[in-house]
Chains A and B, each alone.
Chain A
């Protein structure tokens, strides 16, 4: 187990897919064979396509009674040996939070695709937002880490979903694809390459599935039914899964390791993309669909001679504090346009040595390039 190269299930070539369809195709390519979910706008096309595709290839698709059971089924399927996923939007994500903490604590590989819409609560079901950034990281109680990707195109909905499965399997951690309505419903050219690199969880008979001497290393993950003594619990447990709910050392070691296994490996996980930053006075820090508007705005500003840079967060969690910190030393201001009330701007402030200007738009509409251009002009 580990890395291997497989043939892409779809014939190589160019397709015209929506982002939500591309997520489903990426999941199938990564080896996903279980989907448990409850449909919700604006993510439903992923579920629809998974129902169709898993039927074709002999996977298992279950429409559950709600989101609580959806994520529970995904966790169960993962321990039964399947690569498993669900897709939802904000209201569904809120319902999943308890078991996402359980998945993190039991080190269960699973994928949660969240196609964000305008919240809070039911909000505007068909409208765009990106208000779930903090919830994805902090939504369940206790101290744990997750991984979250932020695709900006249909191509990245496909590639990113494959990557998310690989992260989940490699680090045994719930991994989020944090899309938004605009990317989910966007149709775009999708290039399918002939080969896909996939990572399959490592197994090692007899070795403890919940501990490792080196905190960077990920313990092996057995599967129920293969003959190993296996105990999976959401209470504090030792390396063999035995409950140790009164032992401070065991709890401390476990919680630290669950955080360290992601944070000490973040060089491998964190991914950013930068353009025009060499001489930038102001750099726009962006992610998700807003990055598309930002790139257009930054190019226009450059054409007019303004020294504006572009930095896109392809992964949001773990947050790229080191990179943002480096960036902040070379610019006067970091400008952060978001379809929420400043969630990433607040995070960026933790590591920035310069002023961070937050621009928030929460009206259920995308932030258009001309708006970013005008707002950046105000702070230049």
Chain B
């Protein structure tokens, strides 16, 4: 049995933290993996500190919540402060440099997702998809095709094209990414 991959997203409600988890979960499902996910609920998902979690496994999942994450993806200083302490050895922390001043050195991956969103598509609401796509490009937890399919099935109307563009930006960030 291979070890499940545990991913935790954190930020403020409204940044698309819950959607990021949903997209990753759907993408992994398309690839035939066993997936479990949970997220903040109620007021927390709508403005306050917000998190979502995904467990991806080749085998059926006994305990469906994240215990210690392999990958942490954060979009607020508060989420960074809280979640950067809990990550497995050899794990990675992806952060949006617009909102976060990191206080640790190792295993950090800086992605200026919000800055890229504003510069390229003039819409900061897709920063979450840029960040998620960068995570996917860097780690390969799901294929880029699966993530695109998840976006197609989860995002409606005029935002679909915008999110597809955001995904392309995130995927191509891989070459420029710099680990500190």
Contact = CB atoms under 8 A, between A and B. Distances in A.
A186 B29 contact: no
A42 interface: yes
Interface in B1-52: 21-22, 25-26, 28-29, 32-39, 41-42
B178 to A, nearest CB: 33
A185 B21 CA distance: 13
Prevailing SS type, chain B contact patch:
mixed
A15 interface: yes
Contacts of A293: 63
B154 to A, nearest CB: 10
A122 to B, nearest CB: 13
Interface string B48-75: 0000000000000111110100000000
Contacts of A16: 22, 25-26, 28-29, 35, 37
A189 B35 contact: yes
B149 to A, nearest CB: 12
A212 interface: no
Contacts of A299: 62
A153 B61 CA distance: 10
A125 B42 contact: yes
B62 A41 contact: no
Contacts of A74: none
A235 interface: no
A189 B27 CA distance: 11
Contact of A366 (B32, B33, B34, B65): B65
A369 B64 contact: no
A187 B63 contact: no
B35 A187 contact: yes
A267 B25 CA distance: 38
Nearest to B29: A16
A108 B167 CA distance: 52
B29 A14 contact: yes
A187 B22 contact: yes
B42 A187 contact: no
A185 B38 CA distance: 7
Contacts of B62: 292, 295-296, 299
B41 A187 contact: no
A89 to B, nearest CB: 13
Contact of B42 (A14, A41, A153, A292): A41
Contacts of B32: 14
A292 B63 contact: yes
A292 B29 contact: no
Contacts of A189: 29, 33-36
Given A15-B29, A292-B64, A299-B62, A188 B42 contact: no
Contacts of A361: none
A41 to B, nearest CB: 7
B35 A369 contact: no
Interface string A139-154: 0000000000000010
A164 B22 CA distance: 28
A126 interface: yes
Given A14-B32, A42-B41, A187 B25 contact: yes
Contacts of B39: 185
Nearest to B44: A126
Interface in A39-59: 41-42
B38 A187 contact: yes
A186 B38 contact: yes
Contacts of A187: 21-22, 25, 35-38
A287 to B, nearest CB: 16
Given A125-B42, A126-B41, A186 B25 contact: no
A189 B25 CA distance: 9
Nearest to A297: B63
B58 to A, nearest CB: 12
Contacts of A14: 29, 32
A186 B63 contact: no
A309 B57 CA distance: 25
Most chain A beta-carbon contacts within 10 A, residue among B34, B35, B64: B64
A295 B39 CA distance: 22
Interface in A167-195: 182, 185-189
Interface string A356-368: 0000000000100
A41 B21 CA distance: 21
A296 B38 contact: no
* For the complex of A and B, 10 pairs with smallest distance between CB atoms: A296-B63, A187-B37, A126-B42, A16-B29, A296-B62, A16-B26, A188-B36, A16-B25, A295-B62, A189-B35
Interface of B: 21-22, 25-26, 28-29, 32-39, 41-42, 61-65, 67
Given A42-B41, A299-B62, 11 more contacts: A14-B32, A16-B28, A41-B41, A41-B42, A153-B64, A189-B35, A292-B62, A292-B64, A296-B62, A296-B63, A369-B63
8 contacts: A126-B41, A182-B38, A186-B37, A188-B36, A189-B35, A292-B64, A293-B63, A299-B62
